[in-house]
Every structure is written in structure tokens, then in C-alpha cells.
Amino acid sequence: MRLLTWFHVAGDQPPHVITKQLIDHSDFALACSPYTYNRKAFQDLNSETKTSKTGMIIAGSDFEPIKNYQKRSHDGFNTFPEKPIAPLEQILDENWLP
């Protein structure tokens, strides 16, 4: 069996720290962004290992296909409520719980 690890985290804050041991354990390790790829665990690899067993695939979204989206009324499911659940300032407060 082979193991491909695609890190969908920045990798620099606990509990999501990317370590050399995680990369060593993987047959191939992918970063999800340039920021992730620049973490110490990737950059400290020798050039041969970095070339043969690591890479990067941007995990961001492409919003181009929906740039002209227009809201329409309908009777189906709505993902966003008409009124916010809580004021933005309250949501951004770390101590706020719904």
C-alpha cells in the first residue's frame, strides 16, 4: 500500500503542525498552498527528497464560473438566513458560542 498525504492546513499551529516525521511516513506529501509548502518540515528536506516526494496543489477555489451569479427567490432550501444568527462582532469574538 502507498500513502499520499495532502495537507489541507497551514501546518504551523497546533494541533495541525506538519512535521518531518509526517512527511517521512508518507510516500508522497502534498502541500495545499505556497504558505504550507514553506513550512520547516518541507523546506528542511534535502533537494532530492523534496523533488521526488513532495509537491503542491493549490486547494483554493476558482470563483470565475460564478462571478456573475444573481440571487433569485425560490421556494427551495436557502443556505443563508435573511437575518444573521448573531451580529458579526459577536461571531468574531472568540468567546461567543451560539
| Nearest partner of 3 among 17, 18, 20, 24, judged by Cα | 24
The boundaries of the domain holding residue 17 are 4-56
- pLDDT at residue number 65: 76
pLDDT over threshold 90, residue 91: no
Total structural domains in the chain?
1
Residue 63 lies in a domain: no
**Which has more confidence, 93 or 23?**
23
**pLDDT tier for residue 72 given thresholds of 50, 70 and 90:** confident
Residue 81 lies in a domain: no
Residue 48 lies in a domain: yes
Residue 50 lies in a domain: yes
Residue 67 lies in a domain: no
pLDDT over threshold 60, residue 31: yes
**pLDDT tier for residue 84 given thresholds of 50, 70 and 90:** low
Instruction: Tell me if 56 sits within 8 A of 29, measured CB to CB.
Output: no
pLDDT over threshold 90, residue 41: yes
Quote the cell numbers at residue 61: 477555489
Angle at 53 between CA 52 and CA 56, to 5 degrees: 105
Which residue(s) pair with 7 in the sheet?
A: 31
Residue 98 lies in a domain: no
